[in-house]
Structure 1
């Protein structure tokens, strides 16, 4: 899997045990370019959401958008969310938490997390899509912005979880300054995307403030998740990165729903 998922999909050349091991500079570049890499998928999701303009009910469109995002990412972020929540809920014993997280089975806590997150996302996306193509544009931008979370969670000083091949490759490769610059860049994208919505609602200051706050809140919640995972698992792995993406997307959608 790419950054943000859980277990690696298969062996690769050049390293013992088949684990992928690009240079730190390449790993850092991959994390910083993650928002750009998801643009095609985000744009397609936005087009699907914009179908509300031809009469598709917002809630139906929201379900299709979330289904498309899950399919386009192979469900790895949702899988990471479920595994992370199961691991965090397994108790304070690190070995037990890691074993539960890596078992591959979705436990009751992971299942509840998936239901709640998808329910909140669907309701928030439907609310935004009620504004037509303007809301779809905001949803597109928030999907792009959510991928900046991975860089934020992999800043220098962060430790990779024991046994995590993806964590070993990506965690600790991004400087804090670079992660903040990326955050400012995606915040600018969200602000630009929110302009048509703000103009149409007549609530320009509130909507634009909400757009900036959405990115900041999403980022900080991802950092909170990173710190909790570091205490419980001994570091950050691919599942935690995937969970961070879903947490960030959900939080930013909720903030924009309130703001609009």
Structure 2
């Protein structure tokens, strides 16, 4: 009996982009846990590409004469379209699940429902608003690296979240990726992000890394809390962690601008 073929790194890149972006990239027809692990390890590359998209959209809009608030809001909208809105959907589902009073099974059932409850709506409004206001400040100061890095940090959080936490019962994507990441992979991406953050806020080399660290910490605290509440990790929780990390990083970077 022949062993299953191991997914190559280029295939892992394609799978990561097919999962985490709207780009018409075809991944492998069948994906096992080792292949999923490779794709999640490469998720920050998708974050970097989306970060370039965000900074490019923001710069283009300002060059066309758009106000900084409008440019920021449209940038957040472009990110939502670039990811099929799945991270915002995950945030909404997670908020609805956390807002329920039932046992973990009931909370997971609420998250799987097709509708969005009041907690979910409030979470989306808050996340979009926080990111838009923070991006507006960064765009006004032309901190393009900070805009892009905030987006990339959301995907670094995904790598960290997929270490050491089992999947919640009845989750498809969660069962595929939960617990697949090594401590080394998470540490390497976190170090790379913290290093890049040194240059995110001109004149304040310490503020960027502190903001990046706060973003990753906030995302992991959310993941840990959700894992206790839902008895494991799910794709919705990963989406929520992504949006929280982006918002906290953008806010932290913007607080340090002149």
**TM-score (normalised: structure 2):** 0.85
Does residue 114 in structure 1 map to residue 114 in structure 2? no
Aligned position for 1:175: 182
Aligned position for 1:89: 99
Displacement of 1:177 in angstroms is: 2.5
- Which 5+ residue runs of structure 2 have no aligned equivalent? 1-17, 22-27
Aligned position for 1:44: 53
Aligned position for 2:193: 186
Which residue of 103, 119, 141 maps to 1:131? 141
Displacement of 1:92 in angstroms is: 4.5
Which residue of 150, 155, 177 maps to 2:158? 150
Displacement of 1:136 in angstroms is: 2.3
Contact 2:47 2:153 in 1 (8 A): no
Aligned position for 1:7: none
For residues 87-118 of structure 1, give each alpha carbon's deviation from its aligned partner in whole angstroms, at most 9, with x where no partner exists.
Answer: 01111411110111110210001001111111
Q: 1:3 & 1:71 partners in 2: Cα distance?
A: 11
Displacement of 1:189 in angstroms is: 2.5
Contact 2:212 2:249 in 1 (8 A): yes
Aligned position for 2:25: none
Aligned position for 1:17: none
Structure with the bigger RCO (C-alpha within 8 Å, sep 6+) is: 1
Structure 1 runs of 4+ aligned residues shifted over 6 Å read none
For residues 131-183 of structure 1, give each alpha carbon's deviation from its aligned partner in whole angstroms, at most 9, with x where no partner exists.
Answer: 13xx223101221122101111010x311011111111111011123211110
Superposition RMSD on alpha carbons, in Å? 1.9
Which residue of 210, 225, 241 maps to 1:228? 225
Aligned position for 2:41: 32
Q: 1:168 & 1:96 partners in 2: Cα distance?
A: 19
Aligned position for 1:78: 88
Give the count of matched residue pairs: 233
Displacement of 1:190 in angstroms is: 2.8
* Cα distance change, pair 150–43 in 1 and its aligned pair in 2 (3 A): same
- Which 5+ residue runs of structure 1 have no aligned equivalent? 5-11, 15-20, 199-203
Q: Secondary structure at the match of 1:70?
A: helix
Q: 1:208 & 1:139 partners in 2: Cα distance?
A: 16
Which residue of 234, 255, 258 maps to 2:255? 258
**TM-score (normalised: structure 1):** 0.84
